[in-house]
Structure formats: C-alpha cells, structure tokens
Amino acid sequence: MTVVPVSAFVALGANLGDAAATVRQAITDLGTLPQTRLVRASRLYRSAPWEASGPDFFNAVAEVATLLDAHALLAALHGLEQAAGRERPYLNAPRTLDLDLLLYGDDHIATPSLTVPHPRMDQRAFVLRPLAEIAADKVSATTLAAVAAQDARPL
C-alpha cells in the first residue's frame, strides 16, 4: 500500500532580530523536517503587530507535503521555533519565530493542543494574502475582501 503525503499549509512570522532572514531560513528548514518536503512558499509580507506593540512582522505561508500526522507536524514546527530562540513570556509577545499550522489536508481537528483549520486565519490579512498567493483555492474573494483594510504588504 502506498502512503500519500498530506498537503499542509504553515504560516510563518517573526518580528525580532533579522526577522526577514529568520522567516526565509524557516521556510528552508520546513523542507528538512522528517518525512516532509517543501512544496512552495509565498513572498514575504510586512505587517504591523496584531493586537500588540513592537516592530513590524515579516510573514509568509508555505505548503509542505508530509507523512507526519498533524500533531507530529505541530511538534516539529515547535522544534523549529525553539531552535530559533522562541520564547513565550506573554500572549502576543514579540517573537523570533512563530509557526502556525493553518491547514492539514481537508482535516478538521479540535484538540486541546491543535485546532485546524487555524481558528483565526480568516481574520488576518498577513495570513490570507500569502496563502492566496500560493493556493488561491484556499481563500475566497469574500474572505479576502473582509481583511482588505488590514496592513499586509508584499516585499
């Protein structure tokens, strides 16, 4: 029996240190995760912090093909965050790297540690615009229009 990889989408963001370089490196690092291949990634987008203060964020969205289950993929993403020096001192704190699992195939997951589709992705232009760039079928025109006033500009 052949095992088929799942297509998953990951949001990347950073606003501490050389944030743009960190996001670019994290995109590359996604392809080094076990049983995972980087399929494509959006351009970088720049946006003001969401519900917090601090430097602007650099964001992107990447698609991976993975044989990892959703929870194992999330754990691997947390490992990349940790390797980049991620700390979580308080909610919405500035960060060296933030990786969110947006979509995992067509799965709907609701556990204490993971909700997929990501529960707030439809509210954030810095997620929707790069996602639409690489997977237009995943974002409706209505959803994009709802965040049109938000700041998220491609570099």
| Domain ranges, ordered by start, for the chain | 6-154
pTM of the model: 0.94
- Catalytic status, residue 98: yes
- Catalytic status, residue 86: yes
Reported as a single tens digit per residue, the pLDDT across 126-136 is 999 999 999 99
Nearest Cα neighbor of 144 from 155, 130, 128 is 128
Of these residues, 29, 98, 124, 129, which one is catalytic? Answer: 98
Write the CATH number of the domain with boundaries 6-154. 3.30.70.560
Q: CB burial class (10 A; 0-12, 13-18, 19+) of residue 3?
A: exposed
Of these residues, 37, 46, 86, 122, which one is catalytic? Answer: 86
Reported as a single tens digit per residue, the pLDDT across 47-80 is 988 766 678 999 999 999 999 999 999 999 999 9
> From CA 1, how far away is CA 129, in angstroms rounded?
37
What is the maximal distance between C-alpha atoms in the chain?
51
> From CA 112, how far away is CA 63, in angstroms rounded?
24
> From CA 39, how far away is CA 136, in angstroms rounded?
15
